[in-house]
Amino acid sequence: MKNNLEVVSSLLSLQSSHIGDKKIKDNMLQIQNRIQSMSMIHQNLYQGKNLGSIEMKNYFNILGDYVLQSYGTEQRIVMVYDMEELELNVDIATPIGLIVNELITNSLKYAFPNNLTGVITIRLVQNPEHLELTVTDNGVGIQKGKELSGTGFGTQLITLLTKQLDGKMVLRQKKGTSVSFEFQNHKAA
């Protein structure tokens, strides 16, 4: 599975190099990052001690570095992983990884215009009743009239995955944007 996902990601990368339209090229990059996010889950499975679970802090570190590099922002955006090591079952790790990928991408695209520098923080905590995921940036915040609950594919994907994990999402804005989730704990490793 991992090798198939890497082949698809490579094909998308090759195809993207022949596209001139910036919007289409950006869409291809987002698709490639989603596929790479899932591929990284499988890579971690094969390298880990437990073939059914993923250590999330390490996974987020690898995912964050990959997304920053794919957008060429690794010199101006710092990723912070405010969490302990935490192993999750692959069935919950995969959708959470895709959600985090989407939120990092949104922050890179909208929170730091004009080459602003900033910080994106990922926090995942396991409580007895639920998992708490928070992705925060210290960027410009969501512009008035624009909501995370838009109609874009990424927003739809986040909504679908949140429902799949029997979760709920809360959007907060102060200095930047913070998106928090609570997921039922019955699928954790």
The Cα 99–Cα 168 span in angstroms is 13
The Cα 22–Cα 75 span in angstroms is 22
**pTM of model > 0.85:** no
Residue 42 has pLDDT above 60, yes or no: no
Averaged pLDDT for residues 60-67: 93
The Cα 152–Cα 82 span in angstroms is 28
Write down the mean pLDDT value for the chain: 82
Q: Find where tokens 């922002």 sit.
A: 73
